[in-house]
């Protein structure tokens, strides 16, 4: 699994022009599921994201995790994180998991987030979405379960 995790002061996703689903301070997680990923990767990735200490404490040091700041989470499926651009000008997505498996693992990841975070919003798997965010910091981290 791959994730781009952005610290935000606020963010939203609108699914196919619908009402925005909004969060305040916390994370936007763009989540991609790859070939061969399992629930174990979903659990390992969420544990890493959940425990990351990237929010500033009173001394200005990045010592606080999501729960320490009462953070919220917006999770958006993003198969394009598995784009392969080595050949030609059009990306290949053959490293991404098949849609049924990717959706199952995306939903499992969201379940894990909801277990630990009171305010969670999501996009809709496979839908056209508009994501808006105010990056705080800016602080953006790319994670891949192959290297965790």
Cβ neighbours of residue 52 closer than 8 Å, sequence gap 6 or more: 5, 65, 66, 141
Catalytic residue (choose from 6, 78, 121, 122): 78
80 is annotated as an active-site residue: yes
CA dihedral 58, 55, 70, 111 (to 10 degrees): -160
94 is annotated as an active-site residue: no
pLDDT tens-digit profile of 43-64? 999 999 999 999 999 999 999 9
Helix, coil or strand: residue 15: strand
78 is annotated as an active-site residue: yes
Catalytic residue (choose from 6, 38, 55, 79): 79
Query: What are the pLDDT tens digits along the chain (148 aa)?
Result: 999 999 999 999 999 989 999 999 999 999 999 999 999 999 999 999 999 999 999 999 999 999 999 999 999 999 999 999 999 999 999 999 999 999 999 999 999 999 999 999 999 999 999 999 999 988 999 999 999 9
């Amino acid at each position: 699994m791959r994730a781009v995790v952005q610290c935000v002061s606020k963010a939203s996703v609108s699914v196919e022009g619908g009402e925005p689903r909004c969060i305040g301070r916390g994370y936007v997680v763009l989540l991609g599921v790859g070939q061969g990923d399992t629930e174990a990767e979903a659990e390992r990735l969420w544990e890493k994201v959940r425990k990351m200490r990237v929010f500033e404490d009173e001394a200005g040091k990045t010592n606080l995790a999501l729960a320490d700041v009462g953070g919220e989470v917006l999770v958006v499926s993003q198969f394009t994180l598995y784009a392969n651009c080595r050949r030609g000008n059009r990306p290949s997505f053959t490293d991404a998991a098949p849609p049924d498996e990717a959706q199952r693992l995306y939903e499992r990841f969201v379940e894990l987030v909801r277990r630990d975070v009171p305010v969670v919003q999501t996009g809709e798997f496979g839908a056209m979405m508009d994501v808006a965010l105010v990056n705080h910091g800016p602080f953006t981290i790319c994670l891949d379960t192959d290297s965790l």
